[in-house]
């Protein structure tokens, strides 16, 4: 979906932009995270029977699975096609998208100014 963005310079000057925002539905995230967590537990238990590997795989696989499941649950969505007037040089530019994070620093392709991209109305 199309979202309004705030493009902010380090000195606080800001301008408006738009970007394509995508986030998986909460139910889909919970399902995926549960699958990853459950599967890593099963694989971890199964690896107890592998000689030598049983020293580290039984705890390493569930730990990695748990970390990945947590990252799936805390997904804040992704932005693409980020466009707007750069608050530095005021030119209409396109910034690189990526995972939504706070702060989300992107460099202006025209003037090289670091710009913090913020989604105006974050989804609940």
Considering only 14, 18, 111, 116, the residue that binds Zn ion (CB under 5 A) is 111
Q: Does 86 bind Zn ion (CB under 5 A)?
A: yes
Specify the stretch interacting with Zn ion by CB under 5 A; choose among 3-11, 20-28, 31-39, 101-109: 101-109
Considering only 35, 48, 89, 114, the residue that binds Zn ion (CB under 5 A) is 89
For 81, left (φ over 0), alpha (ψ -120 to 50), or beta? Answer: left
Assess contact for 29 and 36: CB atoms under 8 A.
Answer: no
- As to burial, measured by CB atoms within 10 angstroms (0-12 exposed, 13-18 middle, 19+ buried), residue 64 is middle
Considering only 33, 61, 69, 108, the residue that binds Zn ion (CB under 5 A) is 108
Specify the stretch interacting with Zn ion by CB under 5 A; choose among 10-18, 19-27, 71-79, 109-117: 109-117
Tokens (6 digits) for 21:
């925002």
Between 10 and 54, CB nearer to Zn ion: 10
In angstroms, what is the minimal distance from the CB of 107 to Zn ion? 9
DSSP for residue 39: H
In angstroms, what is the minimal distance from the CB of 101 to Zn ion? 21
Q: Does 110 bind Zn ion (CB under 5 A)?
A: yes
Strand partners, 5: 17, 119
Query: Which of 117, 119, 118 is closest to 107 using CA atoms?
Result: 117
Which residue ranges make up the site for Zn ion (CB under 5 A)? 86, 88-89, 108, 110-111, 113
């Amino acid at each position: 979906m199309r979202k309004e963005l705030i493009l902010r310079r380090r000195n606080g000057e800001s301008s408006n932009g738009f970007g394509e925002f995508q986030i998986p539905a909460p139910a889909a995230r919970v399902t995926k995270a549960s699958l990853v967590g459950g599967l890593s537990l099963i694989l971890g238990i199964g690896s107890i029977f592998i000689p030598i590997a049983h020293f580290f795989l039984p705890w390493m696989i569930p730990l990695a699975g748990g970390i990945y499941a947590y990252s799936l649950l805390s997904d804040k969505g992704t932005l693409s096609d980020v466009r707007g007037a750069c608050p530095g040089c005021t030119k209409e530019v396109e910034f690189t998208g990526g995972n939504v994070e706070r702060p989300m620093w992107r460099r202006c392709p025209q003037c090289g100014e670091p710009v913090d991209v913020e989604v105006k109305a974050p989804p609940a």
